[in-house]
Amino acid sequence: HREIITEIDPGSPQGIASAAARLRGADVVVIQHEFGIYGADDGASVLDLVARLHCPVVVVLHTVLTDPTPGQRAIIDGLGRVADGFVALSQSAHDRLITHYRIEPSRVAVVPHGSSWTVQPPLVPPRRRLLTWGLLGPGKGIERAIDAIATLDLPGPPVTYRVAGQIHPTVLARYGDSYMQHLERRIAAGGLGNQVVFDNRYQDDDHLLGVVAAADVVILPYDNTQQISSGVLTEAISAGRPVVATAFPHAIEMLHGGAGIVVDHDDRTGMSRAIATLLTDELAYRRAADAAAAISADLGWDAIARRFTELLAPLADRNRGIA
């Protein structure tokens, strides 16, 4: 691990200048970009930071919108004028940059989100254990999963659904307990009783891997139709767990080889059917788990580091004047 050499105060011109000064000695600067993390106006101060650098810059884009606001488009367009290259976290993000933002294909590399996890052995049937994890709030689609589970009618032990994660601080501050009460009412309406368990403890990486290893299938019922990268999806596949997901771009891309099942956002019957298939059809489950395991090795951080090295080394050599 490298030490933190500086922190950026995006609301202060002096802070931007100070951070840029600390970065000027770098061979290459990699900007991790997400709207909003560089301050107000969708993080427009990232443009001020990049403009002050005198070395190659590569921008890793964590969100690529097909219908950005004028301000969001201005930021990507501005980065496009000065960055030496972009990293897209998925092929769909790559295609959006070329189609919607007119970035030259030669300047965009696809390097997926990485994971430190490795494939976990599958559990012994019967398979009845479902899992979703991450910060919770409207948009996560937990209601969609609850409704789908409520319609299941499977023999043997009841299906259990574990939701591991804390309420997003912004949601908690704005709505208090009302979001959780809303989910509890949904559970009661579905007659699920204690089949749905909320685990709102903070979980470090090792403990969370244990939680995933204790599940049969991971459910990603997200509302977002534009999501081009999901760390949860990456980690689920890295752990060798089949996934049922709504049809957001990253899920369509990651699961097309059979590591899970994608369903339309409005098709709750389809989600219920997909869950039932993976829980009760052992051949289908094994095929999905094997497909996930086949992808897992390419998502390890060592593999991701090699791809970044291949991308950044020529830029660093050029900056140092090495032919």
pLDDT in tens, 43-81: 999 999 999 999 999 999 999 999 999 999 999 999 999
The reply to whether 174 and 254 lie within a common domain is yes
Segment 78-83 long-range contacts (CB within 8 Å, at least 24 positions apart): 78/47, 79/31, 79/33, 79/46, 79/47, 79/50, 82/50, 82/51, 82/57, 83/31, 83/50, 83/57, 83/58, 83/59, 83/107
pLDDT at 302 over 70: yes
The reply to whether 219 and 312 lie within a common domain is no
Residue at 8 is within a domain: no
pLDDT at 293 over 80: yes
The reply to whether 194 and 228 lie within a common domain is yes
The reply to whether 178 and 155 lie within a common domain is yes
Percentage of the chain beyond pLDDT 70 is: 99
pLDDT tens digits, one per residue of 170-180: 899 999 999 99
pLDDT recorded at residue 320: 87
Band the pLDDT of 1: cuts 50, 70, 90.
low
The reply to whether 212 and 273 lie within a common domain is yes
pLDDT recorded at residue 202: 85
pLDDT recorded at residue 7: 87
pLDDT at 167 over 60: yes
Residue at 291 is within a domain: yes
pLDDT at 281 over 60: yes
Residue at 124 is within a domain: no
Residue at 17 is within a domain: yes
Residue at 97 is within a domain: yes
Q: What is the mean pLDDT of residues 257-274?
A: 97
pLDDT recorded at residue 216: 98
CATH number of the domain that residue 271 is part of: 3.40.50.2000
The reply to whether 182 and 76 lie within a common domain is no
Residue at 185 is within a domain: yes
* CB crowding 81-114: b at 16 or more within 10 Å, else e: eebbbbbbbbbbbbbbbeeebebeeeebbebbbb
The reply to whether 61 and 160 lie within a common domain is no
pLDDT recorded at residue 322: 74
pLDDT tens digits, one per residue of 109-132: 999 999 999 999 999 999 999 999
The reply to whether 233 and 133 lie within a common domain is yes
Q: How many domains in the chain?
A: 2
Question: Average pLDDT over the chain, rounded to whole?
Answer: 95
The reply to whether 136 and 102 lie within a common domain is no
Band the pLDDT of 2: cuts 50, 70, 90.
low
The reply to whether 154 and 284 lie within a common domain is yes
The reply to whether 140 and 285 lie within a common domain is yes
pLDDT recorded at residue 60: 98
Instruction: List the domain range (segments joined by +) for residue 61.
Output: 13-113+300-319
Residue at 189 is within a domain: yes
pLDDT at 85 over 80: yes
The reply to whether 305 and 269 lie within a common domain is no
pLDDT at 316 over 70: yes
pLDDT recorded at residue 323: 52
